[in-house]
Amino acid sequence: MIIVDSMLGKLSRYLRLIGYEVEYIGSDKDDSYIISICKDRLMITRDRQLHERVANSILLRSFDTLEQLKELKGKLPPAEHSFMELCSVCGTIVERAELNGDVPDYVNKNAKEIFRCKKCGRYYWNGSHTDHFRKQMEMIGYEIH
Ligand SMILES: [Zn+2]
């Protein structure tokens, strides 16, 4: 489980899609709370002061998510899950779902299978959008499995 500090919400969603268990910390939490939950877990932050107070942390400089992923390349442990196994929003493992009226027609027509997050209800399916994302990640150097 990686702790991801506020201001890195998009990064936390990308990391979940490539298989990382991520706890995203909202901006309402103070530094002492974050330090207390990090203990021996890895933390990613853009906050230099917080970085200096947490031994096992990575300081990112870029505001751009893909650039942030480049900064992280080679610094993360192997991902716990496969590509698109986790809901990007809440981190729950998604389950195969029936094609039905809850998703747009073009999805029912084009997707061979769809997945649904049991916790937040979000649907996922493979298509050109996921192919594009996977290629981006592989170009940066992430092993997608
Ligand atoms: Zn979810």
Q: How far is the CA of 84 from the centre of ligand 1 (A)?
A: 12
Q: How many whole angstroms separate alpha carbon 65 and alpha carbon 105?
A: 31
Domain boundaries, the chain: 2-72, 94-140
- Tens of pLDDT, residue by residue over 36-56, are 988 889 999 999 999 999 999
Residue list, CB under 5 A from ion ligand 1: 87, 89-90, 92, 117, 119-120
**Strand bridging mode 2-4 / 22-24:** parallel
Please tell me the distance between residue 106's alpha carbon and the centre of ligand 1 in angstroms: 22
Render pLDDT for 111-125 as a digit per residue (tens, 0 to 9): 888 899 999 999 999
Q: What is the CATH number of domain 2-72?
A: 3.40.50
State the DSSP H helix or E strand holding residue 133, giving kind and residue range, or none if neither: helix 128-140
pTM assigned to the model: 0.92
pLDDT digits (tens, 9 = 90+) for 64-84: 999 999 999 999 999 999 999
Residue 127, pLDDT above cutoff 80: yes
